[in-house]
Amino acid sequence: MSSLNPFFEEMKKMDPKPKAIQKTSSGGPSHQITSVRKVRKDKQHDIKFPVDYVMKVKLRTLCKTLNPIYKQKTGKSLTQTACNTLLLRFGLTRWKDVNYAMDYTDTKEYMHTYLLETEYGERGGLHEVAILKDLSDRRVAYCMIHHTVAWLERGGSIEEIL
């Protein structure tokens, strides 16, 4: 259907972006998608990993310890999920040193991490490591976080994680 005003016809011809939804020629209510939406660059991927009581206490204590340093650097408080994400990111940078054969039991009690979609799915991300090691994403996250906590207990620097 064309517009009565020729000015709007010229505007349609000059418009470089395609329409997201276009009706099919049958005239029915079905729609056809003609373009793909861009993914937000700050989109996050939620990964939950099982924790036992001892690990939960260690992670919560570590979060309380890191909070003043993190607040001084960024001006924001450090939440438990953000702390877990920092530990997982550090584990991703040293994924070759992680022991993936450690005991893994699903305790049905979980903590969360929010990796950026780029850190999760792209080259060198957690999902690629999981495929290379033939393990689940949860188990890889579990192993990496345990490795990072053990590294800190052996005398690793908190500054490297932040």
Lowest mean pLDDT among 12-16, 62-66, 158-162: 12-16
Q: Note the pLDDT tens digit of each residue in 27-65.
A: 555 666 667 887 777 888 899 999 999 999 999 999 999
Domains contained in the chain, number: 1
**DSSP code string of 25-67:** TT-SS-EEE-SPPPPPTT-EEEEEEE--HHHHHHHHHHHHHHH
Residue 3 has pLDDT above 80, yes or no: no
pTM comes to: 0.73
The answer to whether residue 99 is domain-embedded is yes
**Is the pLDDT higher at 124 or at 22?**
124
The answer to whether residue 4 is domain-embedded is no
The answer to whether residue 89 is domain-embedded is yes
pLDDT value for 153: 92
Which residues 6+ apart lie within 8 Å of 147 measured at CB? 91, 94, 97, 98, 99
**Coil, strand or helix: which one is 9?**
helix
The answer to whether residue 10 is domain-embedded is no
Q: Note the pLDDT tens digit of each residue in 85-120.
A: 999 999 999 888 989 999 988 899 999 999 988 888
Domain hosting residue 51, numbered range: 44-161
The answer to whether residue 27 is domain-embedded is no
Residue 159 has pLDDT above 70, yes or no: yes
The answer to whether residue 22 is domain-embedded is no
Q: Note the pLDDT tens digit of each residue in 122-149.
A: 777 888 999 999 999 999 999 999 999 9
The answer to whether residue 148 is domain-embedded is yes
The answer to whether residue 69 is domain-embedded is yes
| C-alpha count within 13 angstroms, C-beta hemisphere, residue 160 | 12
pLDDT value for 89: 92
DSSP element (H, E) containing 142: helix 137-153
CA-closest candidate to residue 84, choices 28, 44, 40? 44
134: left (phi over 0), alpha (psi -120 to 50) or beta: left
Percent of the chain whose pLDDT exceeds 90: 49
pLDDT value for 23: 46
